[in-house]
Amino acid sequence: MPLQAAAAAASGIEYSLKRTQCRVEVSIILGSIIICKTSEGLQNIAREPPRRLLQYYKYPSVKIIGNMYQSVSETSHPLQTEEQEVGIDPLQSYLNKTEEGGSNENGSTQHTSDSAGTFISYSKEWEELFVNNNYLATIRLKGINGQLRSSRFRSVCWKLFLEVLPQDRSQWIKNTSELRTSYNKIKEIHITNPRKAGQQDLIINNPLSQDEGSLWNKFFQDKELRAMIEQDVTRTFPEMQYFQQENVRKILTDVLFCYARENEQLLYKQGMHELLAPIVFILHCDHQAFSHASEAAQPSEEMKVLLNPEYLEHDAYAMFTRLMKTAEHWFSTFEHDSQKEKDAMITPMPFARPQDLGPSIAIVTKVNQIQDQLLKKHDIELYMHLNRLEIAPQIYGLRWVRLLFGREFPLQDLLVVWDALFADSITLNLVDYIFVAMLLYIRDALISSNYQTCLGLLMHYPPIGDVHSLILRALFLRDPKKNPRPVTHQFQQNLDYYKARGADLMNKTRASAKAAPLNINKVSNSLLNFGRKLIAPAMASGSTAGPTAGAGSFPPTTGPTRGTAEAPQYHQHQAQQQRMMKSESMPVQLGKGDAPAGDAALPGPAQNPTALPGQSSKISSSPSIESLPGGREFTGSPPLSASKKDSFFSTISRSRSQSKTMSRKESEEELEAQISFLQGQLNDLEAMCKYCAKMMNTHLGNIQEVILQEHLEKEDEILVSLAGLKQIKDILKGSLRFNQSQLEAEENEQITIADDHYCSNSQNKGTGDILKGPVMTKQQLISGRQTATDSSTRESKGADDCILVSKEEGSRSAVPEPAQLLQTFKESAVKPEAPSRPLVFSDPLMGSISASSSNLSSSPDDNSSNNSKDSDFAIVSPLDI
């Protein structure tokens, strides 16, 4: 399994590296991948003009995504072609393609490129791909294996797949020029100049004529059609700068227009633009690469003709028409056997499903067939589930098939899918199986969710980690005998994992994925900012505690000892974490390459239950770590809410450990790998935060309920503290803004909390009643701050916590120095604790609680009762001040 994971990750990184060299804009798609690119770039820096150098230095920061878009806009500028092509060095900067030969060798590619520094020229890649007897079979294999990802001749490959180019290479030039001239003709035919009509027959040829034969009439019809096409074209890949350019839009419109005019029956249908856009994009990319390569070296005549940028539109048209030959019936809305349909409408079958009743449009038939036959065959459970929910396949499948999954994957992944689709066969029959594979990928989530969630999942397909696994699975589904069981069995395992425990969690992450934009490159700014802040302090304070935290130095036995009540929750955590690590740790392991430390350190947190890194984070952020006996940390389980917060903070510790290793190893390459890893982690963390926030919410609700029922005398303080926790929850959820100063303040608090908590712990009983510790101090902190800064806040404790939070916010910002605040708080917190200490020691009840808590049985109710007890002695503090 790890081997496969490594291989998959390797291909990812290798891809990104090469991609970078070719063109910047290509790599914008996957945020994390982009960051990897720099390693190659850094090698080039020596040769780069200073401006490019600057660009490179931008990359290691997390700001990258912002810059990426900038660079895209730069790239797209027609006059800047030379500047934009970061890292294109036609002679040197290309990786050794031979490494790519076997699909399993992917992993080694990157290392070779880095260490040996073997480069191969542009033309060599050409030769690799096209100069041998059986080249077509080779590139087909490459296409299916996702190895065209970084190719600079993808467009040529696609042309071959789509049979735009004949297999006979000697015919290429002739064929291409023929197609181009034919397009010119087509285009000429379809330009209507109404003024050419002149004076002949004014009754027909006048601007207001509605005669069929009128040029004017045709002109206005064309205009209407164009307007319709343009409407869609302007919305094509709105996230990509390239498609915002006027001339690109013009190309898209013209091609679609010509196609529509050539196929009057079909005309233009919405969605066609989504098929055309990737074609135009890869043509453009290849042309860019070519123009760069041709600057230095003399390209062959073939290349010159095939990759002539002037004929982008012509080639796009040729490829598009070929593609549409297969896809057109998916767009047609003609009813087959309308007579038969009419009969069916009159006497509908009893118990017929709605999707069977409507007119049988080709596409609907197709998706129905996929669901009714293929899905039924491969996953009857999912099939039944979808049927039970009455989710007709055309609801989601129409778009999937029509756009060839264009809206379900980010563009880079989409191109890989298309590589496989086209390479497989021009009939695109792999579509059905990818369809099913996609359903299977989210099957557990689907099965465990209701109608609404299902629809959400299907309509906003969750981001997929490794598209290639999807393709492999599709191949396997189609022909289990010929194709090996996909490498995805690691993924399968993942699914089982979800099946067992994480279905609910899965929903959560999916939901969060839904809330957030689908593509990684569309990661919201807030997350980026958040990430930057999260990393920044970690970088700054790469503490010595870092490595210990990350290396998983804690006894792993603590996991199993956990109480049953809490176990599922932890497992969910664990599941999530593991999943996170599974997907995210791959690039890092790879990035680390041969470094043995990488292997040792990284899987550590993955295998330990989440709570452990959580605890460790506390340690690493706490100055009192050394004074703390390690074992005590794990005897008790922190209250749920605290653990969630911990897991949130664990990320800091992890990133800290990362930064530590980073500082040790000076190699830049690792640095980028680290960043990419962190980036990926951030993405997952966001999901985790959301989950934590939700759980926190429910448990806080429970606590609050209980407290309100109990009518404790110091209820106010508890409620105020709860409000504080709710604020944290909101920060986790992201609904509350989280900025740098807050983070610092928060961190400081965290330190203090830990401080007090550990001190009190060691002083208190030595058994480490962690359960109480954090909560108690937290309450003290918040209530202390409350009273110190804004006593009026407390009056509103019963009120909506939102108001409370906002007030607290205000009061916090009103305080000039957080240190001051902390000072006051500390005084307040420590003072009242002194009398409480003997109380705890002497109290047998408390002792038993601590004992029981070490056994880790803590339901939310336990928590709340504990909390209230804690607060009983803690609450004195604010009043004392």
Residues in contact with another protein by the rule CB under 8 A: 78, 184, 187-188, 191-195, 199, 202-203, 206-208, 210, 219-220, 223-224, 226, 246-247, 250-251, 254, 257, 310, 313
Shortest Cβ distance from residue 301 to another protein (Å)? 20
**Nearer of residues 249 and 837 to another protein, judged by Cβ:** 249
**Nearer of residues 131 and 191 to another protein, judged by Cβ:** 191
**Nearer of residues 139 and 272 to another protein, judged by Cβ:** 272
By CB atoms closer than 10 A (0-12, 13-18, 19+), residue 748 is middle
Shortest Cβ distance from residue 396 to another protein (Å)? 35
**Nearer of residues 77 and 325 to another protein, judged by Cβ:** 77
Shortest Cβ distance from residue 29 to another protein (Å)? 26
> Which SS3 state, helix, strand or coil, does residue 585 take?
helix
Report yes or no: 517 and 463 within 8 Å, Cβ to Cβ: no
Q: Report CA torsion sign: 715, 717, 718, 723.
A: positive
Report yes or no: 861 and 706 within 8 Å, Cβ to Cβ: yes
Shortest Cβ distance from residue 286 to another protein (Å)? 18
> Which SS3 state, helix, strand or coil, does residue 543 take?
coil
Report yes or no: 21 and 89 within 8 Å, Cβ to Cβ: yes
Shortest Cβ distance from residue 239 to another protein (Å)? 22
- The alpha helices in 765-799, defined as continuous H runs, are 773-789, 792-795
> Strand (E) positions, 115-155?
none
Residue with tokens 């039924």: 376
Angle formed at CA 312 by CA 309 and CA 317, multiple of 5 degrees? 165
**Nearer of residues 185 and 235 to another protein, judged by Cβ:** 185
Helix (H) or strand (E) holding 215: helix 215-233
Q: Which two tokens stand for residue 199?
A: 């004076």
| CA distance linking residue 286 with residue 57, whole number of Å | 26
Shortest Cβ distance from residue 28 to another protein (Å)? 23
Other beta carbons less than 10 A from residue 591's beta carbon: 25
Report yes or no: 673 and 110 within 8 Å, Cβ to Cβ: no
Please give the full DSSP string across 184-214, using - where no structure is assigned: HHHHHHH---GGGGTTS-TTTSSTT---TT-
Shortest Cβ distance from residue 296 to another protein (Å)? 24
**Nearer of residues 169 and 187 to another protein, judged by Cβ:** 187
Q: Which two tokens stand for residue 57?
A: 């230095």
> Which SS3 state, helix, strand or coil, does residue 149 take?
coil
Shortest Cβ distance from residue 733 to another protein (Å)? 44
Alpha-carbon torsion angle 631, 637, 641, 642, nearest 10: -10
Residue with tokens 């013209």: 254
**Nearer of residues 168 and 188 to another protein, judged by Cβ:** 188
| CA distance linking residue 380 with residue 280, whole number of Å | 40
Residue with tokens 């087509």: 186
Residue 18 identity (one-letter amino acid): K
**Nearer of residues 160 and 307 to another protein, judged by Cβ:** 307
Report yes or no: 614 and 554 within 8 Å, Cβ to Cβ: no
Rg (CA), the chain: 31
Q: Which two tokens stand for residue 608?
A: 């330990």
Report the helix count and the strand count for the chain, using DSSP H and E.
Answer: 47, 0
**Nearer of residues 192 and 576 to another protein, judged by Cβ:** 192
Shortest Cβ distance from residue 203 to another protein (Å)? 6
**Nearer of residues 50 and 78 to another protein, judged by Cβ:** 78
Report the length, in residues, of the chain: 881
Shortest Cβ distance from residue 319 to another protein (Å)? 17
Shortest Cβ distance from residue 281 to another protein (Å)? 17
Shortest Cβ distance from residue 307 to another protein (Å)? 15
Shortest Cβ distance from residue 198 to another protein (Å)? 9
| CA distance linking residue 129 with residue 121, whole number of Å | 13
**Nearer of residues 207 and 623 to another protein, judged by Cβ:** 207
Shortest Cβ distance from residue 207 to another protein (Å)? 5
Q: Which two tokens stand for residue 760?
A: 């009190």
Q: Report CA torsion sign: 593, 468, 155, 163.
A: positive
**Nearer of residues 168 and 310 to another protein, judged by Cβ:** 310
Q: Which two tokens stand for residue 159?
A: 């042309």
Shortest Cβ distance from residue 820 to another protein (Å)? 59
**Nearer of residues 222 and 341 to another protein, judged by Cβ:** 222
Buried b (16+ CB within 10 A) or exposed e, 420-434: bbbbbeeebebbbbb
**Nearer of residues 119 and 219 to another protein, judged by Cβ:** 219
**Nearer of residues 192 and 867 to another protein, judged by Cβ:** 192
**Nearer of residues 161 and 257 to another protein, judged by Cβ:** 257
Please give the full DSSP string across 406-438, using - where no structure is assigned: TTTS-HHHHHHHHHHHHHH-TT-THHHHHHHHH
> Which SS3 state, helix, strand or coil, does residue 361 take?
strand
Nearest 5°: phi and psi at 134? -110, 40
Residues 6+ apart with CB under 8 A from 213: 204
Shortest Cβ distance from residue 155 to another protein (Å)? 18
